[in-house]
Amino acid sequence: MIFHLVCLAWIFFRAESLHAAFAMLGGLRTLTWAPEYTVALRFLALFTIPLFAMDLINEMRGEEYVFETGVETRRVAVGVAMMALVSVFAANQANAFIYFRF
C-alpha cells in the first residue's frame, strides 16, 4: 500500500503544474490502448523472458543466484560487464520521460 501511495505522490513532483498532475491522475482512469504501450510491452518482454528462463535454470540446478558455483574471476567479469552495459544504455536527463509529456 505504501509503495502505491509513494508512486502516486511522485506524480505531483514530476508534473509541471498542479493541473498537469491532476491530468496525469485522470489519465489513469482511461483504459484505452495507446501506441506507446506496444513499445513498452516489447521492452518488458525483452527483459522478462530471459530473466524468467534464467530463474528456471537456477531452480533446476538448485542454485539461488546466477554463477553461484562458478569461478570467482568469471563472476567478477560478468558483474563488470553488466555494470558497463547499464552505464552505456542507462537513461539520462535528455531522454528520460520522453514519451510521457502532458
pLDDT, tens only, 16-60: 899 999 998 988 888 888 888 888 888 888 889 988 998 998 889
What's residue 102's pLDDT? 47
Band (5; pLDDT cuts 50, 70, 90): very high
3-state secondary structure the chain: CHHHHHHHHHHHHHCCCHHHHHHHHHHCCCCCCCHHHHHHHHHHHHHHHHHHHHHHHHHHHCCCCCCCCCCHHHHHHHHHHHHHHHHHHCCCCCCCCCCCCC
Write the pLDDT tens digit of every residue in 89-98: 776 655 555 5
